[in-house]
Amino acid sequence: MLDEVLEALAPLEGATVLDCTLGFGGHAEALARLAGRLVALDRDAEELERTAARLRARGAAVDARHADYAEAARVLRELGLDGVDAVLADLGVSSMQLDRPERGMSFKADGPLDMRMDRSTGKTAAEWLASASEAELAEALSAFGDEPDAAKIAARLAALVRCGRAPKTTRELARLVAEAKGLGPGRVVKKDAFAAHPAARTFQALRIAVNRERDSLAVLLEALPGLLRPGGRAAVLTFHSGEERLVGDALRRQAAAGLWRVPLEEPRPASAAEVRENPRARSARLWRAVRET
């Protein structure tokens, strides 16, 4: 949703912009061309360095910082900024992470069950699974993945953990989910690019739990109005219902307190054309808000 994001954050000429999730840098590169200054955060130090180097080689001026978006306020203070003119938070997992089997984010290829955004700290998904109770597993699958078979999958996982056979690779986890759902190997294959894989919700939920994404998002949303100068603009891209609820509730509450210009606009979905070209965009929703002056 690059065009929609640029529209939501316009005008950008001379603006100071904060990109909370650098990722592959698609948004950042376009923002850097238009803005006066771009500060970009990412908790993934490996991808941060790759992306920043590539963007700089293309002539983009990017001040890249290794930080969780929950630390945005601290980063701005350290840079001597009292606020910015625009903030972008793209909450989707980076395509680079999904496409690297060693990151363990996807069921498309076999790899270690890691899932950490920052591989320098914290438990891997395999370690988290091995230490979680059945109740914790079921709650995470339900709350973070809207998984209808959360109880069945959690029971199967917990049984394997008890006998020392917790999954350690993405393929093992995907197979376990299929078994818990009563699916044979032939029924696990997606019908088309738009169909959800049976393990998709489980992988999403575990990634969110391992990286404590909900906690970070809650901190960012609480700080968001204060990151912006009067009249500043915010754009947040969500990709599932849990994020939508958090973002929508926070913006509406803050608008009622006089922090955002009202009425707030309804979240905007990706265009049909973009979804055809990039099925991962099918669940994207763009939330926009303007800081009250």
> Mind listing the domains of the chain with CATH numbers?
2-96+213-290 (3.40.50.150), 101-211 (1.10.150.170)
Question: Whole-model pTM?
Answer: 0.91
pLDDT of residue 258: 98
Q: Are 259 and 292 in contact (CB under 8 A)?
A: yes
Widest distance between CA atoms in the chain:
60
pLDDT of residue 197: 86
pLDDT of residue 194: 52
pLDDT of residue 189: 54
pLDDT of residue 196: 72
Closest by CA to 230, choosing from 69, 84, 17, 16, is: 84
Name 192's Cβ contacts closer than 8 Å, sequence gap at least 6: none
Q: What is the dihedral of CA 61, 64, 68, 73, to 10 degrees?
A: -70
pLDDT of residue 190: 52
pLDDT (tens, 9 = 90+) of the chain, 293 residues, equals 999 999 999 999 999 999 999 999 999 999 999 999 999 999 999 899 999 999 999 999 999 999 999 999 999 999 999 999 999 999 988 877 888 899 999 998 899 999 999 999 999 999 999 999 999 999 999 999 999 999 999 999 999 999 999 999 999 999 999 999 998 654 555 555 555 789 999 999 999 999 999 999 999 999 999 999 999 999 999 999 999 999 999 999 999 999 999 999 999 999 999 999 988 889 999 999 999 98
Q: Are 21 and 90 in contact (CB under 8 A)?
A: yes
Q: What is the dihedral of CA 40, 242, 195, 281, to 10 degrees?
A: -30
